[in-house]
C-alpha cells in the first residue's frame, strides 16, 4: 500500500448561525495516499467541498486534526499555512478563479514566485512548459476574460502545478465546463496522476469520478462507502463508468 500523504482524524465541522448549529462533517476519519487519484462524491450538501477545504487548511475545522505527511497542519499559524499552500498544495476550482487583471501566464508566474521553490528564471521556464503542456500557450498573454472556460481552467491547472505540489486539490474542476472542455481537463488531470501527482478531487460528475482509482462516498457528514478501481485506462472507460454508476446506485445516489 502507498504511503499516506494526507490524513484526517475525527474531522468535525460545525457551522453556527446565531444559536443554530449545522454539523456538516461529523467526525470523519480519512486517509489520502501518495500518487492516488482520490475522488470524493456525494449528494448536494453532503459536505464534499467542506471536507476538501478542511483537509487542505483552506477552512478551519471545529474538532479533529489533519496531518500532511505525518505533520499536523490543523492549527498551523496563518503564515505557516500560507507557506504550506505555496509549497505543497495546488488548487483547482470549479469557477477557474484566475485573477482577473493578470494574464494567464502571469497567474501562473505569481504562484510560482510565491512558492519560492525555484529561481525566477526557472519559474518562467516551467510556466511556459506547463502552459504548452496544457495547450494554452497561444493564449498565455490574454486575460481570463478573453479566453474560453476550458482554456482558463487549463491555465488554472498549470497555476496549481507550478509549485510542484505534493497534493493537488480539485473542487468540481469540470463543473462549469462543456463536454469537450471537460474531457480535455480530465485528460490533463489523468496525465498528471499518471506522472505521479497525488490528486484529491470533489465531483458529482460520474465521468470525472471514473478517472479516479479510489472513490469515497460522503453522506450526512460521514464517509459511507468507498470504491477502489484500477488506475485509469482509456480502453476501459465505459466499463469504469458503468461500475461507478452501479456502485452509486447501490448507495441510492
At its nearest, how many Å lie between other proteins and the CB of residue 146? Answer: 8
Diameter of the chain measured on Cα atoms: 53
Cα–Cα dist 133/127, whole Å: 10
Q: Binding of other proteins at residue 106 (CB under 8 A)?
A: yes
Q: Is 102 helix (H, G, I), strand (E, B) or coil?
A: coil
**119 and 154 Cβ atoms separated by less than 8 Å:** no
Q: Is 88 helix (H, G, I), strand (E, B) or coil?
A: coil
Residue 118 C-alpha from the chain's centroid: 23
Q: Which stretch binds other proteins (CB under 8 A): 2-10, 50-58, 63-71, 225-233?
A: 50-58
Of 87 and 225, which has the nearer Cβ to other proteins?
87
Question: Site for other proteins (CB under 8 A): which residue of 17, 71, 145, 249?
Answer: 145
Of 37 and 91, which has the nearer Cβ to other proteins?
91
* Closest to 224 (Cα-Cα) out of 29, 16, 1: 29
Q: Binding of other proteins at residue 125 (CB under 8 A)?
A: no
**Residue ranges in 168-207 that form contacts with other proteins under rule CB under 8 A:** 171-172, 175, 202
Q: Binding of other proteins at residue 97 (CB under 8 A)?
A: yes
DSSP code at position 236: G
**104 and 136 Cβ atoms separated by less than 8 Å:** yes
* Closest to 185 (Cα-Cα) out of 176, 52, 142, 58: 176
Question: Site for other proteins (CB under 8 A): which residue of 7, 38, 74, 115?
Answer: 115
Site string for other proteins, 200-229 (x = CB under 8 A): --x---------------------------
Question: Site for other proteins (CB under 8 A): which residue of 14, 102, 128, 251?
Answer: 102
Q: What is the dihedral of CA 154, 248, 39, 80, to 10 degrees?
A: 120
Of 11 and 111, which has the nearer Cβ to other proteins?
111
* Closest to 9 (Cα-Cα) out of 67, 88, 70: 67
What burial class does residue 164 get, using C-beta atoms within 10 Å of its C-beta: 0-12 exposed, 13-18 middle, 19+ buried? middle
At its nearest, how many Å lie between other proteins and the CB of residue 131? Answer: 13
At its nearest, how many Å lie between other proteins and the CB of residue 111? Answer: 4
- Which residues bind to other proteins, rule: CB under 8 A? 44-45, 49-50, 53, 58-59, 78-79, 82-87, 89, 91, 93-95, 97-103, 105-106, 109-111, 113-115, 119-120, 123, 141-143, 145-146, 159, 163, 171-172, 175, 202
Amino acid at each position: 500500500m502507498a504511503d499516506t500523504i494526507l490524513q484526517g482524524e475525527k474531522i468535525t465541522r460545525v457551522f453556527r448561525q446565531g444559536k443554530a448549529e449545522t454539523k456538516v462533517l461529523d467526525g470523519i476519519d480519512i486517509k489520502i495516499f501518495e500518487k492516488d487519484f482520490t475522488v470524493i462524491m456525494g449528494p448536494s450538501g453532503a459536505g464534499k467541498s467542506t471536507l476538501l477545504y478542511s483537509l487542505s487548511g483552506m477552512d478551519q475545522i471545529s474538532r479533529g486534526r489533519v496531518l500532511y505527511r505525518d505533520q499536523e497542519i490543523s492549527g498551523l499559524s496563518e503564515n505557516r499555512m500560507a507557506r504550506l499552500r505555496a509549497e505543497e498544495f495546488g488548487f483547482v476550482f470549479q469557477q477557474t478563479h484566475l485573477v482577473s487583471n493578470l494574464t494567464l501566464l502571469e497567474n501562473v508566474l505569481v504562484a510560482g514566485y510565491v512558492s519560492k521553490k525555484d529561481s525566477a528564471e526557472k519559474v518562467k521556464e516551467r510556466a511556459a512548459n506547463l502552459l504548452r503542456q496544457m495547450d494554452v500557450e497561444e493564449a498565455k498573454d490574454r486575460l481570463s476574460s478573453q479566453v474560453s472556460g476550458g482554456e482558463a481552467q487549463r491555465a488554472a491547472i498549470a497555476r496549481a502545478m507550478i509549485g510542484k505540489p505534493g497534493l493537488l486539490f480539485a473542487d468540481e474542476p469540470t463543473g462549469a465546463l462543456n463536454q469537450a472542455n471537460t474531457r480535455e481537463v480530465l485528460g490533463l488531470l489523468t496525465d498528471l496522476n499518471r506522472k505521479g501527482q497525488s490528486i484529491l478531487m470533489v465531483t458529482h460528475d460520474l465521468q470525472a469520478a471514473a478517472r479516479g482509482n479510489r472513490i469515497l462516498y460522503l453522506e450526512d457528514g460521514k464517509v459511507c462507502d468507498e470504491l477502489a478501481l484500477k488506475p485509469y485506462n482509456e480502453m476501459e472507460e465505459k466499463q469504469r463508468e458503468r461500475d461507478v454508476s452501479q456502485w452509486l446506485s447501490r448507495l441510492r445516489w
